[in-house]
Every structure is written in structure tokens, then in C-alpha cells.
């Protein structure tokens, strides 16, 4: 009869430092991309205003900006915390752009020397 294996430190899944660091860098990059979309909104408004004053169509400019924003927002909302594996920036339905910590386990997005121990 086989003996049931007891979980020990070797059988528990702990995030390795390289993967943990890559996940955190991806989280920071996703947040930065969406922040850039917000900061370039005045440039978008001015360019739309200039196009309308010159009698040009704004359809393509509008669709491109909306597609870029939607892509970055989806990317940011799908990022998972390397510590708790839940969505890093989404707790209920809203995306939290201001936080630099996981909204579930409070893991910071700043890279530390080693991944946290479970």
C-alpha cells in the first residue's frame, strides 16, 4: 500500500525569483502603458481639434486611440500577482490605476531581492 506523501518545502510550489521578477516587471510595464494613454489625452484632443479645423475626418484617429487604450487597459486588468495569483489591479469590477500594490495580498510592484515565502 503506497504511503501518502506529506507536503514539504520541495513539493510546495513557490515562485522562482526569475519568474517572480519578470511578472513584476510586466505588471509595472502594463501600468505605465495605460498611464501614458491618460497623459497623452491632451495631445489627442488637440490633434482632433486641428483635424476638425482643417476639414479632415477624425474617424481613423479616434479608432486608433480607442484601440490602443482598450488594448492597454485589457493588458493591465489581466495581469496576475505573482504572489497570490489573483488580478493585481482589479478587486471587484474597477481597475485601480493609482495603486502600486496588489489589491488582494498587498504585494508591492517594486522588485525586491527575493520572492516572498508562502
* 76-93 average pLDDT score: 84
* Cβ partners under 8 Å of residue 115, min gap 6: 14, 15, 16, 17, 20, 82, 83
Examine the pLDDT at 75 and tell me if it is beyond 60: yes
Model confidence at 10, pLDDT cuts 50, 70, 90, reads very low
Which position has the higher pLDDT, 78 or 18? 78
Alpha-helical regions (H) of 1-118: 17-39, 41-53, 59-78
pLDDT attached to residue 73: 87
> What are the phi and psi torsion angles at 90 (to 5°)?
-120, 120
Q: What are the tens digits of pLDDT across the range 23-59?
A: 888 888 988 888 888 899 999 999 999 999 999 999 9
Query: 36: helix, coil or strand?
Result: helix
3-class DSSP state of 83: coil
More confident residue, 92 or 75: 75
Residue 113 has a pLDDT of: 53
Nearest to 26 by CA among 89, 68, 69: 89
- How many CB atoms lie under 10 A from the CB of residue 64? 11
Amino acid at each position: 500500500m503506497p504511503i501518502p506523501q506529506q507536503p514539504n518545502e520541495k513539493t510546495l510550489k513557490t515562485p522562482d525569483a526569475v519568474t517572480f521578477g519578470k511578472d513584476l516587471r510586466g505588471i509595472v510595464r502594463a501600468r505605465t502603458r495605460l498611464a501614458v494613454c491618460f497623459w497623452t489625452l491632451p495631445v489627442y484632443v488637440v490633434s482632433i481639434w486641428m483635424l476638425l479645423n482643417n476639414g479632415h475626418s477624425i474617424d481613423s484617429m479616434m479608432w486608433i486611440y480607442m484601440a490602443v487604450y482598450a488594448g492597454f487597459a485589457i493588458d493591465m486588468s489581466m495581469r496576475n500577482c505573482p504572489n497570490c495569483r489573483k488580478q493585481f489591479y482589479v478587486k471587484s469590477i474597477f481597475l485601480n490605476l493609482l495603486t502600486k500594490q496588489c489589491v488582494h495580498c498587498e504585494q508591492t510592484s517594486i522588485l525586491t531581492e527575493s520572492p516572498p515565502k508562502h
